[in-house]
Amino acid sequence: MTARTDEDYIRLAIEVSARARANGNHPFGAILIGPDGEVVLEAENTVTTGNDVTNHAETNLVRMTCQAVPESERRSYTLYTSCEPCAMCSGAIYWAGIGRVAYGLAETALFELTGSHPENPTLALPCRTVFAAGTTGVDVRGPLLESEAAIPHRDFWTS
């Protein structure tokens, strides 16, 4: 079996984002990959159905990770997400001790799609900046496959 690439995992996160949209939520998805390359967990955005603005896909995944993966092992895991983690999600990823993040659509590209839509306010604070402010590093790769990651957002943010 051929090893999966970052792009393969990003595509899986994009599939989760499409499911989030189909389930009535904002189109964001995240997956956690273990050191062996296997999908350990996945999470959709549940901001709408959960009536909680903190229910981003990444924070949902971080909550699950903290229950399922011992803290001492989390640095060897990678969180793949359909879009660049926002400042809140980046902080959660950092505090959880996850060692690596890869994302599809950059925050700047997402803003181009959403504009000033009231359901997606944007902080112009890249995840790399948030992670760089910490005392332990988080390896970041992205943006990757931006045109594919944008597909679940098409026509979603129009009012």
Q: Which of 44, 58, 107, 146 is catalytic?
A: 58
136: helix, coil or strand?
coil
Confirm whether 58 is a catalytic residue: yes
Q: Which of 11, 6, 37 is nearest to 152 (CA)?
A: 11
Q: Compute how many other C-beta atoms are within 10 angstroms of the C-beta atom of residue 25.
A: 21
Give the separation between CA 109 and CA 139, rounded to whole angstroms: 21
Report whether 60 contacts 29 (CB < 8 A): no
Query: Strand pairing partners for 140?
Result: 101
Give the separation between CA 111 and CA 144, rounded to whole angstroms: 16
Sheet holding 139-141, edge to edge: 39-44, 29-33, 78-83, 100-105, 139-141
| Residues involved in catalysis | 58
